[in-house]
Amino acid sequence: MRAGIVITDIDDTMMGPGEDLEGICGSIKDLQGLGYTIVPVTAKSVYELARLAPRLCLNLGDSLLIAESGGAIYGGPGLLETPTGSISVYGYELEYEELGPDLSTLERELSPIESVCNSELVKFSRASPSTIARLTGLPLEASREAAKRVYMEVYWSPQRSCLEKMEELALRKGMYVFLGRRFLHIGGHKGKGFAVRRLLSNPLLRGLRTIGIGDSEADKDFLEIVDTPFIIPHVDDRLEGRIKHLRLDRADYIVSIEAAPRGWITVANQIKLEHV
């Protein structure tokens, strides 16, 4: 029996600093055993997700996921209603539905945006794994996958003002933009919320209860449309500051008191209690 869908961010929501996923696999298995479908919705690429899948106890060949903040929906064969192509990633055979142009198509639009930065600008799709590892703290293997951008570019600059100028120009062009604490994301798609709505229009998922778990403003557009939204605070944030930062538009958020990964496990336990 299918109980519902858990739509979840990964970084700082499931995964803590240093790729800490301790205990997450067991919690995912428990929820799957109760009939929940686990759907990662993340800024990571499908290559990064394929590398992490065994640690998340997810068989991507039987799963649904949204990569690069809504650039594309991926699923095992037969799981997507309107796939636009197929891909083999580390032994997983996946179909995908593109929700925006790829980076080669966006290059002409991205070039003038990038030109506003006179200071050092690192572009992940062109950066070396060692550079990405230095900037993100990711292991070298993970950094190789982080460089494989398809639908969304990731930028870093030592000058935040430079990233803010890029953000402003990209927003004027109607692009997907998210400026985090250290990195700027730009894509030609419409973001996580649009992708989640598209996913939930799938006849296989209609009518199921939806649970959303996220940690930041980048997750707000899908947290606002699920039945039950949870927030995981950052490890270095006070609870009140995180709620204020999200600028919530609904009053029924459930906020964990713990950061990732422990906070996600606590949320999973709360969901399991509903079935006791």
Residue 238 pLDDT more than 60? Answer: no
Q: Is 40 exposed, middle or buried (0-12, 13-18, 19+ CB in 10 A)?
A: buried
3-state helix, strand and coil shares in percent for the chain, rounded to the nearest 5: 40, 20, 40
Query: Average pLDDT, stretch 61-84?
Result: 96
Q: Give me the pLDDT at residue 240, please.
A: 47
Whether residue 65 is found in the same domain as residue 14: yes
Q: Give me the pLDDT at residue 170, please.
A: 98
**Confidence at 245, pLDDT banded by 50, 70, 90:** low
The domain in which residue 11 lies consists of: 4-99+191-273
Whether residue 229 is found in the same domain as residue 255: yes
Whether residue 266 is found in the same domain as residue 207: yes
Q: Is 207 exposed, middle or buried (0-12, 13-18, 19+ CB in 10 A)?
A: exposed
Sign of CA dihedral 96, 101, 215, 228: negative
- The set of residues, in sequence order, having a beta carbon less than 8 Å from that of 259 and lying 6+ positions away, is 12, 16, 232, 233, 234, 235
Q: Tell me the pLDDT of the chain averaged across its residues.
A: 92
Among candidate residues 224, 218, 232, the one with its CA nearest the CA of residue 260 = 232
Catalytically active residues are 9
Q: Give me the pLDDT at residue 255, please.
A: 85
Question: Which pLDDT tens digit goes with each residue over 118-168?
Answer: 778 999 999 999 999 999 999 999 999 999 999 999 999 999 999 999 999
Count of domains in the chain?
2
CATH number of 201's domain: 3.40.50.1000
